[in-house]
Structure 1
């Protein structure tokens, strides 16, 4: 597979569908490298030790992803910080999270992934999310649907928030006080209105579950491009509704994010707006 990537046409004549397949191959290869590092809890006693362990995982995946993806799209920019948010300059950009749920990986928890998304003029064009421990690959291509290992995905058809499983996530450590309070109040609101509320990191895995129809809505305050763009494209292509927490169109500059089955989106907005 790496030989295919090394000899791939990089002149821009490759279709987006072919580009998606080649991106998926690179992401799966990076995931295999991270899987080899997974198993025991990685100890750390200081913030510096923690950051070093997180960086070691990132570097393992990026040593594979960066040259492969750059070879596929030599003129595309590269988002250096996976915690960055906001709009990107025009043109193509790779938005990559080499170890989404990195802290889970360090703690020998299974909820982590490798993601790569190609953004074109601030619109996600294609995305790949690979779960190395289960060897599952989620893909989405604008206008062509969302898939799990080739099987088409569709969001839940639930039409009652009171019967829904919903989820949220902590966007990053050391969030500012206002965001922390808003997260807490939103969880309380959903505990009153939804059937079950799940709270865990990372965001991308919740969004996979929305796209598949296992859960009915996901929301988050703050957040970065790398943890929301892949799932946003997957949910949209699986027939879901994406907005900010107030129901307005979502962009990477938005202060809130909501992905939901269409039948409960309005109810979820109402709950989060209280």
Structure 2
């Protein structure tokens, strides 16, 4: 399947575009996987940065051309660590290797993501995990899926039974963000059941969408790490807000995704962190 795939009868325009997006993230992911080795052991910071850049270049060499061909006229966000609102219209927000730090250390927890943003709202997303072969997809109003199987968030109603998670958005977080991360982690260790701390955010959000986890929150907005997972969770029936419980946007300073039955309890716990 390629960007020139013959249209499938009955699919919406975004549904047709999704087939090309899936092909793009799978192909880019396979090209990175061919270079992956579980024996990777970068020796120092320059080696880490060089390995990160090499993986991104391999993925982007295919991903960018494929997605721009699939949606002529859509813009392309160059910097994956950007935040804040985009100009109106359509934009591709991608992470060529989401969880790249894992990949360059020989860990399998990484993905390739592509999300179409329309007037600052995610409307289509594909997330491919090359090491497992799983592909998560969502189109606004059309549900969320793992390998074609519908996803639903959990039915839990008590935060004390919730499997909760958070993570570091990027290297070099400022002191205020680090403080909030620490305080929120302590609070959730008390109020939740079990806490998971890992990167990348997208992989935790796929678990919330699938009902295997119940809450994910993050300080320090990084757009590319949240938009695909936000759409997946929302389309699986979850609630997406900021930590104060206000509607989340690309300009929000923080992020919360939760099963509806525990969302307000999570807000109560996290909103106390100032």
Unaligned stretches of 5+ in structure 1?
none
Give yes or no for the alignment of 1:174 onto 2:172.
yes
Alpha-carbon displacement from aligned partner over 1:151-199 (angstroms, at most 9, x marks no partner): 1100000000001100001011100000000000000000000000000
Q: Which residue of 2 aligns with 1:94?
A: 92
Retained in 2: the 8 A contact 1:219–1:245?
yes
Give the drift of 1:7. 6.8
Aligned to 1:40, the other structure's residue is in SS state: coil
CA contact (8 A) 2:240 2:248 kept: yes
| Count of residue pairs the alignment pairs up | 269
CA-to-aligned-CA distance 1:24-64 (integer Å, 9 cap, x gap): 01111111111111123434344333221101000111111
Deviates more, 1:47-56 or 1:115-124: 47-56
Structure 1 contact 38–105 (Cα < 8 Å) conserved: yes
- Which residue matches 1:77? 75
Cα distance, 1:111 vs. partner? 0.9
Q: Secondary structure at the match of 1:98?
A: strand
1:22 counterpart residue number: 20
Tell me the residue number matched to 1:49.
Answer: 47
Which aligned pairs between 1:1-274 and structure 2 lie closer than 5 A?
Answer: 1=1, 4-6=2-4, 15-274=13-272
* Contact 2:93-2:114 at 8 Å conserved across structures: yes
- The TM-score normalised by the length of structure 2 is 0.95
CA RMSD for the aligned pairs? 1.5
**Could you tell me the TM-score, scaled by structure 1's length?**
0.95
Q: Do the aligned partners of 1:97 and 1:116 also contact (CA within 8 Å) in 2?
A: yes
- Name the SS for the 2:137 alignment partner: strand
Q: Runs of 4 or more off by more than 6 Å in structure 1?
A: none
